[in-house]
Amino acid sequence: MTQHTFDVLTGNEITEAIDEIARLRIDIFAEYPYLYDGCVSYEVEYLRKFASTKQSFMVVMKDKDEIVGALTGLPLAHEQPAVRRPFTTSMYPLNSTFYFSEVLMYPAYRGNGYASKLFKLAEQYVGQLCTYTYIALATVVREANHLKRPSAYRPLDGMWQHFGYKPLANHICIMDWQEHGDDNETAKPLMFWIKSLSNICQSWSQRSTPLNSMTALG
């Protein structure tokens, strides 16, 4: 049976993993619904903020020594303006909200419960900070009849809801990126999802040692 490990990375640990995470982002976001045509140099520069921003982290899943899944997060107040903007007049305060920037996993590892392990470690990490009241994430919005939508594609809305996140239909940000086959960047809407951290924070305040790794068999 294969052993997969899950670790929380911060600071210099993130720096050492940036090249692998950059490749993972490019590979996963090339898929529908993002269809992102990325380049390694941009990705590496983008990911540096997780190494340098206080309280930022990455949870990585490894198969042997290879990173095959990741969840990245940082305080929402340190995200780019387009991501922060929907929360400037929101009932969910900007400075009380943590942001999960991306959830990534290669197709061969999906459907085995590994995403729940990424979320568990990520939420516990944020919970032990006892600084934030909410966790937010955002997903791109595509038309149901999008021409590039694969016939077998299933939105991940059910997974977000299963993990306790609820949609915020009135919290939309606009991001620009270039799709495969296009010559220029175009604007895309992303909708936010939100989860309260009150119960997680309470349970973590009773722990003396933070959980920073996990091993799974599968």
Name the domain count of the chain.
Answer: 1
In a domain, 100, yes or no: yes
- Residue 33 is part of a domain; what is its CATH number? 3.40.630.30
Residue 211 pLDDT > 60, yes or no? no
In a domain, 213, yes or no: no
- What per-residue confidence (pLDDT) applies to 128? 92
Tell me the backbone φ, ψ of residue 24, rounded to 5 degrees. -60, -45
Q: C-alpha dihedral over 135, 55, 83, 160, to 10 degrees?
A: -30
d(CA 27, CA 102): 13
Please give the C-alpha separations between residue 101 and each of 51, 80, 119, 149, in angstroms, as whole numbers. Answer: 14, 11, 12, 23
Residue 151 class from Cβ within 10 Å (0-12 exposed, 13-18 middle, 19+ buried)?
A: exposed
Residue 64 pLDDT > 80, yes or no? yes
Residue 209 pLDDT > 50, yes or no? no
In a domain, 184, yes or no: yes
> Which range of residues forms the domain containing residue 143?
3-207
Per-residue pLDDT band for 215 (boundaries 50, 70, 90) equals very low
Q: What is the mean pLDDT of the segment spanning 172-198?
A: 93
E strands, the chain, are 3-9, 57-63, 66-75, 97-105, 134-140, 166-178, 185-196, 213-217
Residues 8-42: pLDDT tens digits? 999 999 999 999 999 999 999 999 988 999 999 99
Q: What is the mean pLDDT of the segment spanning 164-169?
A: 96
Structure tokens belonging to residue 161 = 């809801």
Residues 120-137: pLDDT tens digits? 999 999 999 999 999 999
Per-residue pLDDT band for 119 (boundaries 50, 70, 90) equals very high
- What per-residue confidence (pLDDT) applies to 36? 92
In a domain, 217, yes or no: no
| Residues sharing a CB contact under 8 Å with residue 196, sequence separation 6 or more, in sequence order | 133, 134
In order, the DSSP letters of 27-38 are: HHHTSTTT-B--
Calculate what percentage of the chain has a pLDDT beyond 90: 77
Structure tokens belonging to residue 204 = 């973590």
In a domain, 7, yes or no: yes
In a domain, 137, yes or no: yes
In a domain, 168, yes or no: yes
In a domain, 216, yes or no: no
Give residue 20's Cα distance to chain centre: 15
d(CA 172, CA 88): 12
